[in-house]
Every structure is written in structure tokens, then in C-alpha cells.
A and B are shown apart, each in its own frame.
Chain A
Amino acid sequence: MTKPDSHSSDHVYESISFHAMGGPCELKLYAPTRGAVQAAADAAIAEVQRIEKSYSRYRDDSIISAINNAAGKNFTAVDEETAALLDYAHAAFEQSDGLFDITSGVLRGAWDFKSGVLPSQKRVSALRQKVGWQKVEWRPPNIRLQQAGMELDFGGFGKEYAADAAARVCKEQGIEHGLVELGGDIHVIGPHPDGSPWRVGLRDPREPEKAIHIISVRQGGLASSGDYERFMVVEGRRYCHILNPTTGWPVTEALAAVSVLAPLCLIAGTGATVAMLKGEQRGQEWLAALGLPHMWVTSTGELGGSLVAAGR
């Protein structure tokens, strides 16, 4: 992230850092007064915390825990927001031909990327049985996971949704210039007060502290996915944290990194995640068909996508 280089005299600028959604978060906001920035930031952080609390699978009192604890047993009735999120997950599952699957979280039980040891195929296969959106009975507003041990996990889109929701809250508070960043997922509320865009660096998958490309964003969501976040190299081969729900194994021949720009961070995130899951060739095709501005990096370091072409 680059710091804003322009500063309008009738706007106060503040950058507010906090920790949520399992990572560092930042609000960069302009408002007429310091009080207005603070009020917007307080409301936005409260919204992020509300979503985190509602959908964390680590909290016993979350709706996700209630659904997961009833797996193989009874139906759980959900509220409207949860229902809309489940509908979204369903749409993403269908559009990605089953690759975007919010039940795939259980596979993490087999994969310890810090160990440097591959799990046994038997262990992976056993967990694979607990994966599959098609094994979920979603009859709004009631949901039931068919098998005991199945789990829903909103980790694949909760952070992006929270970024969009926090941006909406800021806008409701009158903020027109600023951005919300939750652990690398960004929703740009609007450009700097002088109209100049935010300059956002996209990570180099092989040197994640460096930017491989810098893009300009005036408004909308930007999300990235890559094989660099958690991975292990076993016998010269790279195994990343992006697990294919249909095999239970990390995606093979995947793109190294993908970034997508969309009106909403949620859609950008889904676009990027699915592109990673599809593998190098089909991932590029998916991005092109989606029609959103995007950038990809292959495992050999080749850059491509409409954002790269536009930036040059």
C-alpha cells in the first residue's frame, strides 16, 4: 500500500489500524472533521466486528457453530443475512462448477503446511467425504448438514463481505473519500479529495513483501488470492493452502497469484478464489469470461490480464 500523497485542505485524513478477521486491518478516511472520521471509523469497525462475531467458526455462540454442531442431526433456522450469504455461496458454487465450496474447510484438518509432511491419501479421502455443498440441505430459512462432521466455513468470503459492509457504513456516515482494507482485501469508497485514485500495489507471489504491479483504483473492491499465503514444498513440489474440494488436495498447476477488481470486494474475492482453484489455463479463461479487470501471475512469473495491459 502506498500512502496518499495528496491532501486537501478542507478534509481531515486519518488512517486507523485495527485487528479483525484474523489479520491487520486499516481504514484510510477523509472527512470534513476529525470527529466525523472517528464516528465513521467507530461505526465501520463495529460492523466488521459484528460480522466477525456472527460468522466465526471459532465462537460457540455463532450461527455457524450452531449449524455445524447440528450436522447430521436437525435443521437450523437462520436469519436473513445468513440466508443471503448462503444464497451467495450457493450461486458461487454453481458458477464455479463446484470449486467454490463453503464446506471444504474440514480438509484443513489433513493439511498442516508448517509440518512439511504430506497427509496420507486415506486421511484426505476420509475428510473428502465430509465435503460437498450438494450434501447440504438448504431450504430457506432452514439448513442442515447431512453428515456429522461436516462444517460450514465462511472464511472464503466473510472478510470480503465485511470489507464491503464496512465501506457501506462509512458511506452512510458521509465518507466519500477513503478505503477499507481488511487483511489485503480492499474496498475503495472513493478517490482522494482531489480526485486522484488510490495507488495499490499487488504482491509479487514469490517476494510477497514487494509489489509486482501497481494499479490505480478510484472506487470498488479489490481482492487477491495466491499460493504464497500458506504453503509447503515437499520433494521440490509446492503445495499451497488452496484446496480443491473435489480432490481434497491443493490445486495443481495453479496460477501463483490473481487479483480482481469489481464493484464489490465480495465479487472480486470470489472471482480471484475461483481463478486460483481452476488452475493456470482454465483460471485465465474464467477471468476473461468474467469480464472484470484482473491480473494474474503464473508460477513461472509471467504477468497477464486486463489490469496489466491497461497499466502499461
Chain B
Amino acid sequence: MKILTAILCGLMLTGCTVSKVEPWDRQYLARPEMAWDADAASAAYQSHVYFSKEASNGGASAGAGGCGCN
């Protein structure tokens, strides 16, 4: 939890230095490789594989069903 606190504080600090970005200056942010899930099909597959091979899973989504993966 220490790491969590440290990163949250860091985020808040950078939050103070947010610079105004007009919508017409967001061409970099709008690039496909800047998306949160840059390649949807591959991201879906990957999370499925990690879900079935590791103990942890989840994060910012309304989720999917489980599987009987061994």
C-alpha cells in the first residue's frame, strides 16, 4: 500500500501541473497507439490468457465471464 500512496501523491502533484490542451491540439492523444487498449482484439485475448494462468485479474471494465481453464 506504500507504493499506492506514493503513486497517488505523484499523480496529484502532476495533476497540479496539468496544462490546458485545446481539443484541436489533441491529435497525438487521438492516435490509435495512444488508446488505453491500443489493440482491442489482442488486449481481450491477452487478458483471457493471463486470467487463466495467473491468480490476479481485473481492472476498469464491466468484466466478462469466467472459464474452466486449467
Contacting residue for B27 out of A168, A263, A264, CB 8 A: A168
Measured CA separation A263–B24 after assembly (Å): 9
A253 neighbours in B (Cβ, 8 Å) = none
Contacting residues, chain B, for A263 (C-beta < 8 A): 22, 24
Say yes or no: B24 contacts A172, CB within 8 Å.
no
Kindly provide the distance from the CB of B31 to the nearest chain A CB, expressed in whole angstroms: 8
A164 in contact (CB, < 8 A): yes
How far apart are the CA atoms of A171 and B25 in the complex, in Å?
A: 8
* Inter-chain contact B27/A172, CB cutoff 8 Å: yes
Assembled-state Cα–Cα distance A74/B65 (Å): 52
Extra contacts, 8 of them, besides A171-B25, A172-B31 (Cβ < 8 A), are: A164-B24, A168-B24, A168-B27, A171-B27, A172-B27, A263-B22, A263-B24, A264-B24
User: In chain B between 10 and 25, which residues have their CB closer than 8 angstroms to a CB of chain A?
Assistant: 22, 24-25
Taking chain A's interface residues, is the majority helix, strand, or loop, or is none over half, making it mixed? helix
Report the minimal beta-carbon distance from A261 to chain B, rounded to whole angstroms.
Answer: 15
Complex Cα distance A13/B27, Å?
22
Q: Quick one: closest A residue to B31, CB to CB? A: A172
Q: Nearest CB to that of B22 among chain A residues?
A: A263
> With the chains together, A264 CA to B24 CA distance in Å?
9
B contacts with A: majority SS: loop
A residues in contact with B22, CB < 8 Å: 263
- Which residues on the B side are within 8 Å of A171 (C-beta)? 25, 27
> Considering the chains assembled together, what is the distance between the CA atoms of A172 and B32 in angstroms?
12
A–B complex contacts, Cβ < 8 Å, 10 sampled: A164-B24, A168-B24, A168-B27, A171-B25, A171-B27, A172-B27, A172-B31, A263-B22, A263-B24, A264-B24
Task: Report how far A228 CA is from B27 CA in the complex, Å.
Answer: 37
The CB with the most chain A CB atoms within 10 A, among B22, B24, B27, B31, is that of B24
Interface residues of A in 263-278 (CB under 8 A from B): 263-264
Measured CB to CB, the nearest residue on chain B to A174 is B28
- In angstroms, how far is the closest chain B Cβ from the Cβ of A180? 13
Cβ-closest chain A residue relative to B24: A168
Q: Give chain A nearest CB distance to B24 CB in angstroms.
A: 6
Interface positions, chain A 166-192, Cβ under 8 Å from B, are 168, 171-172
- Complex Cα distance, B25 from A168, in Å, reads 8
**Roughly how many angstroms separate A171 CA and B27 CA in the complex, as a whole number?**
7
Instruction: State in angstroms the CA–CA spacing of A171 and B29 once bound together.
Output: 12
Q: Which residue of B lies closest to A264 (CB)?
A: B24
Q: Which 8 A-B residue pairs are closest in the complex by CB-CB distance?
A: A172-B27, A171-B27, A263-B22, A168-B24, A168-B27, A264-B24, A164-B24, A171-B25
Residues on the B chain within 8 Å of A172, using CB: 27, 31
Bound form: Cα–Cα A171–B23 in Å:
13
Q: Bound state CA distance, A263 and B23, in angstroms?
A: 11
Residue of B nearest to A171 (CB): B27
Chain A, 151-162, contact with B by CB distance < 8 Å: what is the 0/1 string? 000000000000
B26 CB to nearest chain A CB (Å): 10
List residues of chain A with CB within 8 A of the CB of B25: 171
Give the distance in Å from the alpha carbon of A172 to the alpha carbon of B25 in the complex: 9
Chain A residue numbers with a CB within 8 Å of B27 are: 168, 171-172
Shortest C-beta distance, A176 to chain B (Å), equals 10
